[in-house]
A = this chain, B = another copy of it.
Amino acid sequence: MDVMEAIWQRTSYRGLYQDTPVPREDLETIMKAGLAAPSGCNKQTTSLIAVDDPELLRQLKAVIDSPVGHTAPAMILVLTERIIAYDDRTYYIHDYSAAIENMLLAIVGLGYQSCWVEGHITGEDRIGRQMADILGVPQDRDLICYLPVGVAAEPVKRVRKRPFEQRAWFNGFGGGER
C-alpha cells in the first residue's frame, strides 16, 4: 500500500475482529516497523511484545477488561524505559509515540485494523503493570499501550477532524498569506 494511502486510511478501530489468525511474519513486520522509528538521541527506549498465544491473550484480556480489541486474534504490547536522553531531558514518550504510529501504518498496510489504547491501562489501577507481570516484564520497563491486531469484522468508522485551514498555514500563524 502507498504510504499516503496508509496515512489517510489509518483510524482508531474499536469494533469486532474476525478470528482469522495474524501470521507471525506479519506481526514481526509490524514490530520491525515500530523499531524503525526515530528515538531521541537514538536511545531506543521502546521495546515490544507480540502476543498470539490464545491462553496468554485470554489472561491479558481478562485484566484489560475493555471491549476495545477484545476479539482481536493478536496484540502488540508497547514497553518503555523512562531514561534520560541528556541533561534532565527525556524523550521516551516521543519515542514510543513515533513507534506506535509506524506500527499503526504498517498494520493498515497489511490489511489489518488496530487502535492505540493507552489511557485505559496507564491509570491509577495500573492495568499496564498487571499485564506486564503476566508477560514477565521487569520493573524498569512500563507497559503503556496495547495495539490489537486483526481483520475488521465491522465497518471502519472515521473520526471527524477540524478542517485543514484551521490547523495549518503557510508563512505565518493563522495564514500569514493563505
Contact = CB atoms under 8 A, between A and B. Distances in A.
A116 B172 contact: no
Nearest to A93: B93
Contacts of A12: 38
A98 to B, nearest CB: 4
Contact of A7 (B28, B44, B105): B105
Interface in A81-125: 85-86, 89, 91, 93-94, 97-98, 100-102, 104-106, 108-109, 116, 118-119
Interface string A112-145: 0000101100000000000010011110010000
Contacts of A41: 119
Contact of A44 (B6, B136, B167, B174): B167
A36 B49 contact: no
Given A35-B164, A109-B3, A176 B98 contact: no
Nearest 5 A/B pairs, CB to CB: A97-B97, A3-B6, A3-B109, A98-B101, A101-B101
